[in-house]
A and B are shown apart, each in its own frame.
Chain A
Amino acid sequence: MSAVPSAADAGRGAVYDRGYRPYEGPRGLRGSATFALYKASMRRALGLRRSWRQKVAPFVLLGIVTVPAIVNVGIGYITRDQPAFDRIEIITYREYVGVSAALLLFVGLVAPDVMCPDRRQRVLPLMFARPLLGVDYVIAKVGAIATILLAFSFLPQMVLFLGNMMVSKDGALDYFTGHLDVLWKVPVAVALLAVYYAVIGCAISSLTDRRIVAGAAVIGLFLLTSISSGVVVGDWEIEGGSYGALINVLGMPLYLRDLVFLGHISTDSPLNGVAGGGLLAVACYSVVVLAGSVTLWWRYRWVER
């Protein structure tokens, strides 16, 4: 029977030792631990449960990558009732699956932030004392960054698609049925891009425990190979495409994007006209992803032999 506090007790404080209660509920193993790490990495990348400063960069970048879609839809809305203007399109779905400076910055900022502190602050021994293997760690980290990249690339496309539907002169339903292919091409192309950048960002970040070094290395690799490729290829619109386009690590997913959208390398690509260019692009993409994955596996194999 519980005692009713008396008036005399009312002014007194009391310290209760709640002791220890064993946990008797359900308990997961590797899958649960991997998913938990995936969620924690997503929260970290987006700055959730962290100070407001950590939230600024990801959401400003999301805003920046959405701007072209908003502008495109806005122009469509303004000109929808003016017969003098045919459909004005400042950016296509294919072009929108592109490499923007915002995405480049995002990978350079977020991948090191998600990977490096675990090593620098020596959190890894605590993680691997849980039911978690090195490969689970890599899947969780790469998965988290790839998911955010996917979302940041896909959300603007959705804004563009829904906006275009709303302002279409032919009506929303006609626009929808006329662009059904976009519904699978965009996710596939965006997923290829997201996985590629996530693997590269994580692999480079796994090689150092300093965020600034990792960030500079990621951005440096992208810019250096992009510039080198440009120098090697030269003026491809006049001289034709070149194998030199394949050393462009930054632009590699764009060749696969072309294959998804067009079924061949685009005529406005520096790989246009190169024999077997599409196949070579797929091979190079696979080699980069494989090299990144092997690097990650090697860095987190953890258990000695």
Chain B
Amino acid sequence: MSTAPLLRLTGLTKRYPGVTALDDLTLELPTGRIGLVGANGAGKSTMFRLLLGLAFPTEGTVEVCGIDVSSDPIGVRSRLGYMPEHDCLPLDQTAADVVATFGELSGLPARAARQRASDILDLVGLDEARFRPIGGFSTGMRQRTKLAQALVGDPELVLLDEPTAGLDPLGREEMLTLVARLGSFGISVLMATHLLDDVQQVCDHVVMIDAGRLVVSGGTTSLLERTGLVTVDVGLRGDELVTALARVGTHAAFAEGLVEVTIGGDEHMDLIRDTVADLGLPLFRLSTRLTSLDEVFVRHSGEAS
């Protein structure tokens, strides 16, 4: 069994005339669902082009699934699926035809490609629409078709460029659910986005880049540090809890239906539980509040600059 990391970037630099798109990026990423986060122009799309072997690095190396992209781009591409951000589907063909054709282009025999196209379109929720021309599809259906063509070749890693772009809240939720499921199918995901909520929801590893430079990389849970606050939901009687906690010298505030308690250590958790019990309040939720990825990004990009 191969022990190579999913992605290994070593001193990766890509310069265009007048601009450095990626600057000395060194990273090792494990299999799983990885969020590639950065503002527009941060270098996300350039990194995808380098991973696909569609652009050569100015300096440094890229390895995907243990294969050096510069020396074997075809070998790498046969292991990847790619879903671009922009519209990229032939509008006068049916979803079944398009996905089957891309299956064949991924190296599958024609019969297997048609069968897999049917299965994958079913998986992404386009079973009934698969014989309709893509030109008549909604944005959400087109995004699903784009995801289907990326998956039809059974890739080891799928590159998703802003998969929730242009989707309404329901469509976004459904797309994120699909992306989250890919991990259980044994398919790793590298999802480029500027929506940190999306990453927090589905990714177990985050890479943040800004102006082509690495800001921070790590497990999603390890990046979400504790804030020293505990959120308590006791329904509408939060004021009583705030008053009781103040009497024992613990600062708390009631806002938007939740009580936020400043704690100094784990022993405060017991104090909160006991106070709630003494007051006879219902306890709906007691949880530590973590920093958001937005806060992590702002703090680390500030440090980097």
Interface centre among A40, A122, A131, A305 (most CB of B within 10 A): A131
Question: Is A27 an interface residue, CB under 8 A from the partner?
Answer: yes
CA distance A28 to B77 in the complex (A): 12
Closest to B81 in A: A129
CA distance A49 to B104 in the complex (A): 16
Instruction: Give which listed residue, A25, A30, A126, contacts B102 with CB less than 8 A.
Output: A126
**B75 contacts which chain A residues (CB < 8 A)?**
131
Closest to A125 in B: B84
CA distance A33 to B91 in the complex (A): 21
**A127 contacts which chain B residues (CB < 8 A)?**
105
Whether B92 pairs with A29 at a CB distance below 8 angstroms is no
CA distance A49 to B97 in the complex (A): 8
Instruction: Give which listed residue, A23, A25, A33, A117, contacts B105 with CB less than 8 A.
Output: A33
Q: Considering only CB atoms and an 8 Å cut-off, how many residues of chain B contact the other chain?
A: 46
Number of A-B contacts (CB under 8 A): 115
Interface centre among A22, A117, A123, A130 (most CB of B within 10 A): A130
Question: Is A18 an interface residue, CB under 8 A from the partner?
Answer: yes
Whether B186 pairs with A50 at a CB distance below 8 angstroms is no
**B55 contacts which chain A residues (CB < 8 A)?**
303-304
**A125 contacts which chain B residues (CB < 8 A)?**
54, 82, 84, 88
Closest to B77 in A: A131
Whether A36 pairs with B87 at a CB distance below 8 angstroms is no
**B154 contacts which chain A residues (CB < 8 A)?**
22-23
- Asked, given contacts A25-B109, A303-B55, whether A123 binds B90 with beta carbons under 8 Å apart, the answer is yes
CA distance A122 to B89 in the complex (A): 7
Question: Is A37 an interface residue, CB under 8 A from the partner?
Answer: yes
Instruction: Give which listed residue, B56, B91, B107, B181, contacts A131 with CB less than 8 A.
Output: B107
Closest to A22 in B: B154
- Asked, given contacts A21-B119, A121-B90, whether A128 binds B54 with beta carbons under 8 Å apart, the answer is yes
CB B105 to nearest CB in A, in angstroms, measures 4
CB B213 to nearest CB in A, in angstroms, measures 21
**B122 contacts which chain A residues (CB < 8 A)?**
18
Whether B89 pairs with A130 at a CB distance below 8 angstroms is no
Question: Is B8 an interface residue, CB under 8 A from the partner?
Answer: no
Interface centre among B55, B107, B112, B123 (most CB of A within 10 A): B107
Question: Is A59 an interface residue, CB under 8 A from the partner?
Answer: no
CB B115 to nearest CB in A, in angstroms, measures 9
CB A118 to nearest CB in B, in angstroms, measures 8
Closest to B111 in A: A25
**B92 contacts which chain A residues (CB < 8 A)?**
50, 117
**A128 contacts which chain B residues (CB < 8 A)?**
52, 54
CA distance A133 to B72 in the complex (A): 12
Q: Considering only CB atoms and an 8 Å cut-off, how many residues of chain A contact the other chain?
A: 38
**A25 contacts which chain B residues (CB < 8 A)?**
108-109, 112
CA distance A29 to B109 in the complex (A): 11
Whether B123 pairs with A50 at a CB distance below 8 angstroms is no
**B116 contacts which chain A residues (CB < 8 A)?**
23
Whether A131 pairs with B53 at a CB distance below 8 angstroms is no
Interface centre among A125, A127, A305 (most CB of B within 10 A): A125
Annotate B119-163 by CB proximity to A: 1 below 8 A, 0 otherwise.
100110000000000000000000000000100011000000000
CB A248 to nearest CB in B, in angstroms, measures 36
CA distance A105 to B92 in the complex (A): 22
Which residues of chain A in 112-140 are interfacial with respect to chain B, using CB atoms and an 8 Å cutoff? 117-118, 121-123, 125-133
Question: Is B74 an interface residue, CB under 8 A from the partner?
Answer: yes
- Asked, given contacts A23-B112, A126-B82, whether A302 binds B54 with beta carbons under 8 Å apart, the answer is yes
Which residues of chain A in 284-305 are interfacial with respect to chain B, using CB atoms and an 8 Å cutoff? 302-305
Instruction: Give which listed residue, B90, B94, B186, contacts A117 with CB less than 8 A.
Output: B90
CB A20 to nearest CB in B, in angstroms, measures 4
Which residues of chain B in 46-78 are interfacial with respect to chain A, using CB atoms and an 8 Å cutoff? 52-56, 73-75, 77-78
**B102 contacts which chain A residues (CB < 8 A)?**
126, 130
Given contact pairs A23-B154, A131-B75, a sample of 4 additional A-B residue pairs in the complex whose CB atoms are under 8 Å apart: A19-B185, A27-B78, A126-B88, A305-B56
**Interface residues, chain A, with chain B CB atoms under 8 Å away:** 18-23, 25-30, 32-33, 36-37, 39-40, 49-50, 117-118, 121-123, 125-133, 302-305
6 tightest Cβ-Cβ pairs between the two chains A and B: A36-B104, A129-B82, A23-B154, A20-B185, A28-B107, A130-B105
